[in-house]
A and B are shown apart, each in its own frame.
Chain A
């Protein structure tokens, strides 16, 4: 099923940069971004930039992928607990399945997520990988 460009365009910046929201009233941070704070129902929210590092809260290996994701099977997916405390769902990349464990430190990277066929749009977004040694 082809997709319009705006459907993905409107999410791009948030997906590329892990841009969430922060409630101006109670200070709760959210990712994904919201327009109403689920903690206090306030509707004044500011943009909030997440740092992009965290640790594995839980994970799995997807061996039976949905339509459109067959090209990268099997792949690891995880719930990542960000440094700021929020949890996000994402794929894990550049990793050895046998090394994965709950609590493992990871960092976000931009990767190709999937494409709408050979001539459709390519959707990019965040995946997480084990933190590389810093020079």
Chain B
């Protein structure tokens, strides 16, 4: 197995681009990353996407994006793991290069969610959980996370106020990110007093429905310097699953898949949580950020909310989290999110981000913790 490096990154601004289709944002992002790597050639394209078939009635994204990207008759296909699709696609890209199957691979995560109207997006997102035994009861994806939060508050005696500092932090960080959907600060009062979506989650606890695409170019560590002076090395990368239904887990207030993926990634990196300098957490809902801190091993169970409320997740705190806005403020174009996280982490590590760090971790969650990827990136030292 060869060590793998990121030699180019790119993305489109997250938002609601009425004038751009899925293929256009995917191609824009792919070429942003190719330009960044200074190349126009890849021999593999792996697409992360959750639900193009439902959102825009289009499958076969490997062909579509390679075709409209002018990439020729390369190897190209889609990887799916709900909102964790891009994290899974990233792992597929890392495996493709590490194994020697491919020399230079592009991983593009893309989702076009805003072409559907009404409550369709809510229905499509609920496909991430068990359709026959969760979604069929009219339980939304937000609803499942609300129940996780309710039980978490009950078990750990934690308040909504403490948990909801997560979106406040993400919005503060999003201000500096030109690609973020929301670039304004919000107060804790705004989060708490916004309309309820599923009690106790308000609309400001939840990541937005939006469009976006993000890409990375991967090659071997050995070849990386042909493309860039600042390669970012994949130190650890793992994807693990858990039960599809929340109701089948031994506990709902922690994610076994995050714990397993983190254990695997830390072992590959020969690192521990205390070595990590920044974290891109999957804060699709405030409670997910809190539980992520705990499952990745940064704080004990039940202490994540206090850690956040104490300001330790802010830039300047012990563990800056969601430094470019996270899912809440940058936005959460579901099947693209995992690659946005990798792009932002890589920028922070190579020196053109918003903080100066040598390493960091990214956690991308599919479903309610059914598919979780964890990646640890670092400088080439």
* Interface, chain A (partner B; CB < 8 A): 11, 32, 38, 57-70, 72, 75, 77-79, 86-91, 102, 113-114, 123, 125, 127
Residue among A58, A66, A113 making CB contact with B140, cutoff 8 Å:
A66
Residue among A59, A63, A79 making CB contact with B246, cutoff 8 Å:
A79
| CA–CA, A20 and B258, complex, Å | 29
| CA–CA, A132 and B151, complex, Å | 25
- Is there contact, CB below 8 Å, between A64 and B252? no
Residue among B130, B140, B150, B154 making CB contact with A64, cutoff 8 Å:
B140
- Is there contact, CB below 8 Å, between B122 and A114? no
Least Cβ distance of B147 to chain A in Å? Answer: 4
Task: Enumerate chain B residues within 8 angstroms of A72, measured Cβ to Cβ.
Answer: 138
Known: A58-B154, A89-B137, A125-B136. A64 touches B122 (CB 8 A): yes
Most A C-beta atoms less than 10 A away, residue of B123, B137, B245: B137
Known: A32-B133, A89-B245, A102-B154. A58 touches B147 (CB 8 A): yes
Task: Enumerate chain A residues within 8 angstroms of B201, measured Cβ to Cβ.
Answer: 60
Tell me if B148 is interfacial: C-beta within 8 Å of chain A. Answer: yes
Task: Enumerate chain B residues within 8 angstroms of A77, measured Cβ to Cβ.
Answer: 137-139, 143, 147, 198
Interface membership of chain B positions 136-171, coded 1 if the CB is closer than 8 angstroms to chain A and 0 otherwise: 111110111011101100100000000000000000
- Is there contact, CB below 8 Å, between B126 and A63? no
Least Cβ distance of B153 to chain A in Å? Answer: 9
| CA–CA, A81 and B140, complex, Å | 19
Tell me if B119 is interfacial: C-beta within 8 Å of chain A. Answer: yes
- Chain A residue with Cβ nearest B125: A66
- Is there contact, CB below 8 Å, between A67 and B118? yes
| CA–CA, A60 and B246, complex, Å | 14
| CA–CA, A62 and B201, complex, Å | 10
Task: Enumerate chain B residues within 8 angstroms of A78, measured Cβ to Cβ.
Answer: 147
Known: A62-B140, A63-B198. A102 touches B150 (CB 8 A): yes
Tell me if B132 is interfacial: C-beta within 8 Å of chain A. Answer: yes
- Chain B residue with Cβ nearest A11: B132
Residue among A57, A60, A88 making CB contact with B199, cutoff 8 Å:
A60
Tell me if B248 is interfacial: C-beta within 8 Å of chain A. Answer: yes
| CA–CA, A78 and B140, complex, Å | 11
Other A-B pairs, 6, CB within 8 Å; known A58-B154, A66-B140 = A61-B199, A62-B138, A89-B133, A89-B139, A113-B138, A114-B136
- Is there contact, CB below 8 Å, between A89 and B199? no
Tell me if B217 is interfacial: C-beta within 8 Å of chain A. Answer: no
Residue among A62, A68, A127 making CB contact with B143, cutoff 8 Å:
A62
- Is there contact, CB below 8 Å, between B143 and A58? no
Task: Enumerate chain A residues within 8 angstroms of B148, measured Cβ to Cβ.
Answer: 58
Tell me if B135 is interfacial: C-beta within 8 Å of chain A. Answer: yes
Tell me if B20 is interfacial: C-beta within 8 Å of chain A. Answer: no
Least Cβ distance of A35 to chain B in Å? Answer: 14
Tell me if B196 is interfacial: C-beta within 8 Å of chain A. Answer: yes
- Is there contact, CB below 8 Å, between B138 and A75? yes
Task: Enumerate chain B residues within 8 angstroms of A57, measured Cβ to Cβ.
Answer: 151, 252
Tell me if B186 is interfacial: C-beta within 8 Å of chain A. Answer: no
- Is there contact, CB below 8 Å, between B132 and A68? no
- 24 of the cross-chain contacts (CB-CB < 8 Å) are A57-B151, A58-B147, A58-B151, A59-B147, A60-B143, A60-B147, A62-B139, A63-B198, A66-B119, A66-B140, A67-B120, A68-B123, A68-B138, A72-B138, A79-B151, A88-B133, A88-B247, A89-B134, A89-B245, A91-B139, A102-B151, A113-B138, A125-B136, A125-B137
- Chain A residue with Cβ nearest B245: A89
Least Cβ distance of B353 to chain A in Å? Answer: 34
Known: A32-B132, A59-B147. A65 touches B140 (CB 8 A): yes
| CA–CA, A60 and B148, complex, Å | 9
| CA–CA, A68 and B140, complex, Å | 12
Residue among A32, A65, A79 making CB contact with B252, cutoff 8 Å:
A79
Known: A32-B132, A77-B147. A90 touches B137 (CB 8 A): yes
Task: Enumerate chain B residues within 8 angstroms of A86, measured Cβ to Cβ.
Answer: 247
Interchain residue pairs A-B with the least CB separation, the first 10: A60-B146, A58-B151, A66-B123, A69-B138, A58-B147, A87-B247, A67-B123, A67-B119, A66-B122, A60-B198
- Is there contact, CB below 8 Å, between A65 and B147? no
Task: Enumerate chain A residues within 8 angstroms of B126, measured Cβ to Cβ.
Answer: 66
Least Cβ distance of A113 to chain B in Å? Answer: 7
Task: Enumerate chain B residues within 8 angstroms of A60, measured Cβ to Cβ.
Answer: 143, 146-147, 150, 198-201
